[in-house]
Amino acid sequence: MGSKSHFTSKLVVFASILVLLLFHSSEAQSWKDSLERWIPKEMERSFQGIFYNIDPPGGIPGSVTAADSHYQPDYYYNWIRDAAITMDVVVTLYEKAKEPSQVKKLEDILKSYVHYNYIIQRTPNPTGNLTTGGLGAAHYLLNGSAFTGSWCSVENDGPALRAVAVMRFAKEYLRRHGDLSYVKKWIFNNETNPPTTVTRADLDYIVRVWPDPCCGPWETFFVVHFWDQLLIRKALLQGAKFAEMLGYMNASSYYTKQAKELTSNMSKFISHVHGVVLESIDAPRDTIHETFIDTSTILAVLYGYNDDGFYAPDDPYVMNTANLLRLIYKDLFPVNRRRSQDEGVLFGRFPNDNYDGIATGNGVKGNPWFLCTLGMARYYFELAKRFSEYTTLTIHSKWMLPLLDHLGSSHSHSMPPVVGEALNHFQVGETLQKAQLCQIAKALLTEADKIVYAVYRHVPETGMLTEEINRFTGFEQGAKNLTWSYDSFVTAIWSRKHSLKAFHSNCPL
Ligand SMILES: *[C@@H]1O[C@H](CO)[C@@H](O)[C@H](O)[C@H]1NC(C)=O
Ligand SMILES: *[C@@H]1O[C@H](CO)[C@@H](O)[C@H](O)[C@H]1NC(C)=O
Ligand SMILES: *[C@@H]1O[C@H](CO)[C@@H](O)[C@H](O)[C@H]1NC(C)=O
Ligand SMILES: *[C@@H]1O[C@H](CO)[C@@H](O)[C@H](O)[C@H]1NC(C)=O
Ligand SMILES: *[C@@H]1O[C@H](CO)[C@@H](O)[C@H](O)[C@H]1NC(C)=O
Ligand SMILES: *[C@@H]1O[C@H](CO)[C@@H](O)[C@H](O)[C@H]1NC(C)=O
């Protein structure tokens, strides 16, 4: 009797493990399958959304509307920042294009973009004119007229992002045997007083104003932001190389010199106490827990990392900031508290955000944003790529541990313990070997895919992306067809592709 019941209970345990495993793996298949089926469809939809918003009705060629939303909110303007982020996507397509008609089409769009920006740089606005700070204007009308209402100004990320996108275009254009005289007429030459070219104007502007406070990516606090500093740094360093390539040595060395000073001044953004990158050190925010923790620091790394080891994706402080953002948002948004185990966290801009996509002010609660959430997914894809490529890596800071331990624990939950050794309990000074690095890379790829899957769960059948996702209901909210949301989807999926490729070539099964 005793042994029979023992046998039965063993059988029950065995059967339930089997059911669990089967159920678990089929469920694992189903979320992955849904994701793989959705990604190509949403990519197509995103490109449609991006090109729909370039040269929109009422706009002159080369203008980009921030969203197809004219009312509540009215985003029917060319934001310098958002347009540059969009054109950076177009430049990537241009670099990849093979078919002559496609090359020509993209080249025409990019030349129009340069021309539209030549016009608006020379359009005086409430912030100033070409030589007195007018380049800091946040946005212009799509027909090229200045925006004369009140708005948070100055914004210095726009000229930095625009300079980087235009220089990338110019380099690819010259590589394809484009005309050097076009580049010197419209993009960069030695005329400075006033500048007669678009990128010379941008670089000479940011090289002068980089120490000053401005509105930041969210147009909320007028302070010195980590976001602007890292973007300006990249633009100046790229600008120095570009000017040198064209033979303008004076400009080149001047940009380098200023970039060096900016770089040495950026250590102030590190909090050694909390192990995080601060969004700013200048403005008061409400609670200690939420002070200066902002998703834009991770976005800054995505858009502003110059591939030189300075604030790389695997910088310990950057890694810990990403992990802390997850811990904050997983509890902050009700929609995250209800999510299934296959869904990652949806991310907002900063914890005490009080803009909901239409209204702003006391009592208004901020929401998850597509561009923040997809940016975080892209961050994990980038990190996975780096971990796949290392042959060994020494844990050189305790601020790497919280994210690594999280990956270790979620990794061991998603796998039966017999299959792999649990990955947690890393130590400072420990050197990770290839097999461990590949396990971490795999966990990062899963972490990233779960975030993309969470996005999928909140996008309607049409594939239309807005600015935000309601923090309670999980439905889309705010500006419809937000261009930057589509840009973020495309760039996240491009990173996914590169990351999977690196993983498969470095981490054989
Ligand atoms: C959004 O973009 C699509 C095309 O990409 C368009 O058909 C639609 O009208 C746009 N506007 C809204 C509000 O959906
Ligand atoms: C910009 O404004 C200043 C001061 O109002 C003026 O002296 C200058 O000529 C203007 N520059 C351009 C390029 O319009
Ligand atoms: C652009 O549009 C605005 C508002 O519709 C109008 O006032 C302005 O004159 C237009 N500018 C140009 C250059 O057509
Ligand atoms: C560098 O940062 C320090 C500390 O915030 C500030 O006092 C100083 O003015 C900055 N340097 C420049 C050139 O802005
Ligand atoms: C660019 O202008 C500077 C003076 O502003 C001059 O020293 C330099 O030689 C010029 N470079 C070229 C290539 O014309
Ligand atoms: C060198 O270039 C910088 C940036 O364009 C400019 O401000 C400076 O006047 C130039 N110096 C000389 C000697 O031309």
Closest residue by CA, ligand 4 atom 6: 265
Q: What are the residues facing 271 on neighbouring strands?
A: 276
Residues of the chain with pLDDT under 50: 1-24, 287-289, 413-421
**Helices (H), strands (E): how many in the chain?**
15, 8
- Which one-letter amino acid corresponds to residue 104? K
Q: Which atom of ligand 3 is nearest to the CA of 143?
A: 1
347 closest CA partner among 379, 317, 316: 379
Instruction: Ligand 1 pocket test: pick from 464, 467, 480 the residue with the most ligand atoms within 8 Å of its Cβ.
Output: 464
| Contact call for residues 239 and 197 (beta carbons, < 8 A) | no
Q: Say how far apart CA 448 and CA 39 lie, in whole Å.
A: 13
Burial of residue 355 (CB within 10 Å: 0-12, 13-18, 19+) is buried
- In the chain, residues under CATH classification 1.50.10.10 are 36-57+272-509, 77-270
> Could you tell me if the CB of 248 is within 6 A of ligand 5?
yes
CATH fold group of domain 77-270: Glycosyltransferase (1.50.10)
How high is the pLDDT of residue 284?
58
489-503 core/surface letters (b: 16 or more CB in 10 A; e: else): bbbbbbbbeebbebb
Q: Say how far apart CA 16 and CA 314 lie, in whole Å.
A: 40
Q: Which atom of ligand 1 is nearest to the CA of 49?
A: 5
504 closest CA partner among 454, 444, 442, 424: 442
> Could you tell me if the CB of 211 is within 6 A of ligand 4?
yes
CATH for 36-57+272-509, options being 3.40.190.10, 3.20.20.370, 3.60.20.10, 1.50.10.10: 1.50.10.10
How many of the other CB atoms lie within 10 Å of CB of 39?
Answer: 18
| β-bridge pairing 393-394 and 431-432 | antiparallel
Q: Residue 196: which residues within 8 A CB-CB, separation 6 or more?
A: 189
Q: Could you identify the residue written with the tokens 């061991």?
A: 412
> Could you tell me if the CB of 204 is within 6 A of ligand 6?
yes
* Structure tokens, 139: 């946005």
φ and ψ at 64, to 5 degrees? Answer: -135, 125
Rounded (10°) CA dihedral 446, 447, 452, 453: 70
> Could you tell me if the CB of 188 is within 6 A of ligand 5?
no
CA of 320 to the centre of ligand 4 (A): 25
| Residues whose beta carbon lies within 6 Å of some atom of ligand 3 | 141, 143-145
Q: Which atom of ligand 3 is nearest to the CA of 145?
A: 11
> Could you tell me if the CB of 474 is within 6 A of ligand 1?
no
Burial of residue 256 (CB within 10 Å: 0-12, 13-18, 19+) is middle
Give the closest ligand to the alpha carbon of residue 77.
3
Q: Which atom of ligand 1 is nearest to the CA of 45?
A: 5
Reported as a single tens digit per residue, the pLDDT across 49-75 is 999 999 999 999 999 999 999 999 999
E strands present in 166-305: 270-271, 276-277
CA of 250 to the centre of ligand 5 (A): 7
How high is the pLDDT of residue 21?
45
How high is the pLDDT of residue 411?
56
How high is the pLDDT of residue 291?
59
N- to C-terminal Cα separation, the chain: 46
Longest dimension (CA), the chain: 99
pTM of the shown model: 0.92
Q: What are the residues facing 223 on neighbouring strands?
A: 214
